[in-house]
Amino acid sequence: MSIWIIFKLLGSLALLMFGMKAMSEALQKMAGPQLRHVLGAMTTNRFTGLLTGMLVTASVQSSTATTVMTVSFVNAGLLTLAQAISVIMGANIGTTLTAWIMSAGMIEGKSFDITSMIYPAFLIGIILIYQKRHRYIGDFLFGLSFLLLGLGTLRTTGAEMNLGENETLLNFFSSFSPDSFLTTLLFLLLGGIMTFCVQSSAAVMAITMVLCSSGALPIYQGIALVMGENIGTTVTSNLAAMSANTQARRAALAHMFFNVFGVVWMLFVFRPFVDMVCGWVGYDVSMTKDSVESSVFLANASKLNFVLAGFHTAFNVVNTMILIWFIPYIEKFVCWVIKPKKVDEEEDFRLHFITSGIMKTPELSVLEAQKEIQAFAERMQRMFSMVRVLLTEKDEKEFAKLYSRIEKYEGISDSMELEIANYLDQVGDAHLSDDTKAKIRAMLREISELESIGDACYNMARTINRKFNGKTDHFDEQQYDHIHQMMELTDTALVQMNALLGGRKESFDVNKSFNIENEINNYRSQLKSQNINDVNNHKYTYAVGTVYMDLINECEKLGDYVVNVVEARMGTRQRVA
């Protein structure tokens, strides 16, 4: 075997993996927001969740993408873990479409050769890419073309290698007894290890198809490799989820449990099940190379691609039909195995929704960033609530404790802004749709304004702290009433902002936020004029009036920052505080 053929084999696998990735990302760019809305709306029960997972995965050609979207919805509270498990089950069925595409792409013969469409697809793709309106369709055609080109090259390379005539390879596979249970376990383990090493079940499936269709690898060992691929791909996702949050790790464990359970029961009915699939496809399992002519043997062996694809589909469908009734018990099991971490929220400023371990596409990363920004905004509202409590706190120890918490929140807000911004910068380096680029720009504006809200809260806390430590006289009852009314208006503005960030902007009435801001501005102007009169009338000292107006002005600034967040989210003009 020459070095050139080895490079050709590896290069064709690289083309295959790149084509799958490009095709999946293009599909997600075309239908990203709609897919997320479908996933959120069509999971009312386990059966609709199963159907949704199957359709979404078949559409985007990536079970990983569907799983990441599902976990993001669980984190956001839009899906329960039980609903997520049903979607992941559906994703396992949807991803089997890939095997059928590959088996069609590796058909050899003049009657039907799907790879003949590669070059027209490349031509149409490049034309569409240069037409801005349809460039995602062009990206999809390029990805599909690279996928088929990789499969075609892999097929021809396999033919050039004469694997069916390679005595060394044939002797190696024949050294394993086809009737031995140990042989099945060994190839199952080999399939899992290969998938884990190359990080692509599609690549291992392609190698398995080449080996089987050439007559080098017996069907039972090939099927065992496919079963191993099912487990290998879940090992990858579990390792990736180790650094993620509790729900992500539970979803990954449920995925592994689903596939491992399926492999276990399949081992008990292995040969009858494989023979049944072979009968459907029309493959003769009893035919050997020595019993018939070479052309007849190879014609029979060429059907093995469809046997592998058929087994992959049948295995996942039957496994799902069995386990869909036990979803509540699977949920209890994964929750029992993976306990939630107990952390002090004030000490824990890690990002909860953005996880570097789980593989995802840029389009899906935006969803996780949005959930993180929502959590950021909720944290800022809690910080403002602490400031309101601080204003009326009389106990010295409790005051110091609360002030210390506000200081920690201010540090957390700085860290969250930087970490989310760095994450969005990384996402922005990828090829994105115009819609996603606009969302990233809006998000960067949002986190900047949210950090300013944290600064405003901290400035108020410092002002209250100075007053508490006796550097100025206390406010009178009327000043307290005015501050409380201003803070109530400001808190209402924060509530509206969080309602927008947590929902869909199409259903949000932005005029509510603008009306509250106008109320805050008018009230600040009223209190400013009244403060000048009260100081002139000696109702309180100038120093007390200054501290009083500092709090009022910070509330007004905070209201402006809130409106800036709202306008960034709605995609309208930027206001200056």
Q: What is the pLDDT of residue 128?
A: 85
User: Domain for residue 464, yes or no?
Assistant: yes
- Convert the pLDDT of each residue in 277-320 to its tens digit: 888 888 877 776 666 776 776 677 777 788 888 888 899 899 99
Length of the chain: 577
Count CB-CB contacts under 10 A for residue 267: 15
Q: What is the pLDDT of residue 520?
A: 93
User: Domain for residue 522, yes or no?
Assistant: yes
| CATH code at position 409 | 1.20.58.220
Residues 234 and 287 reside in one and the same domain: yes
Distance in angstroms (rounded) separating the CA atoms of residues 384 and 378: 10
Residues 333 and 366 reside in one and the same domain: no
Residues 385 and 505 reside in one and the same domain: yes
DSSP three-state, residue 354:
coil
Average confidence score pLDDT of the chain: 79
H/E segment holding residue 470: none
H/E segment holding residue 130: helix 118-130
**Is the alpha carbon torsion for 393, 396, 402, 407 positive or negative?**
positive
Position with higher pLDDT, 365 vs 312: 312
Q: 571 is written with which tokens?
A: 């995609």
Of the listed ranges 128-142, 217-231, 472-486, 527-541, the least confidently predicted one is: 128-142
User: Domain for residue 575, yes or no?
Assistant: no
Question: Cα separations (Å) of 356 from 233, 240, 568?
Answer: 18, 8, 26
Contact 568, 438 (CB under 8 A): no
Q: What is the pLDDT of residue 369?
A: 83
Residues 390 and 268 reside in one and the same domain: no
Residue 576 has pLDDT above 80, yes or no: no
pLDDT category at 388 given cuts 50, 70, 90 is very high
What percentage of the chain reaches a pLDDT higher than 90? 21
pLDDT category at 565 given cuts 50, 70, 90 is very high
Contact 243, 357 (CB under 8 A): yes
User: Domain for residue 576, yes or no?
Assistant: no
Q: What is the pLDDT of residue 110?
A: 43
- Convert the pLDDT of each residue in 108-156 to its tens digit: 544 445 566 788 888 888 888 887 777 778 888 888 788 778 777 776 7
Q: Which residue has the tokens 């669980």?
A: 74
Q: What is the pLDDT of residue 56?
A: 74
Residues 253 and 208 reside in one and the same domain: yes
Range of the domain at 478: 362-570
Secondary structure, 3-state, 216-243? CCCHHHHHHHHHHHHHHHHHHHHHHHHH
Q: Considering its fold, how many domains does the chain have in total?
A: 2
Contact 157, 5 (CB under 8 A): yes
Count CB-CB contacts under 10 A for residue 488: 12
Summarize the confidence of residues 401-430 as an average pLDDT: 86
List % helix, strand, coil for the chain (3-state, nearest 5). Answer: 80, 0, 20
Contact 1, 146 (CB under 8 A): no
User: Domain for residue 291, yes or no?
Assistant: yes
Residues 174 and 113 reside in one and the same domain: yes
Summarize the confidence of residues 162-187 as an average pLDDT: 72
Summarize the confidence of residues 498-506 as an average pLDDT: 82
Residues 31 and 158 reside in one and the same domain: yes
Q: What is the pLDDT of residue 506?
A: 75
Residues 323 and 379 reside in one and the same domain: no
Summarize the confidence of residues 522-532 as an average pLDDT: 93
User: Domain for residue 193, yes or no?
Assistant: yes
Residue 451 has pLDDT above 80, yes or no: yes
H/E segment holding residue 476: none
Residues 312 and 442 reside in one and the same domain: no
Residues 311 and 376 reside in one and the same domain: no
User: Domain for residue 175, yes or no?
Assistant: yes
By C-alpha distance, which of 455, 474, 476 is closest to 561? 455
User: Domain for residue 132, yes or no?
Assistant: yes
Residues 479 and 564 reside in one and the same domain: yes
Q: What is the pLDDT of residue 412?
A: 87
Residues 214 and 303 reside in one and the same domain: yes
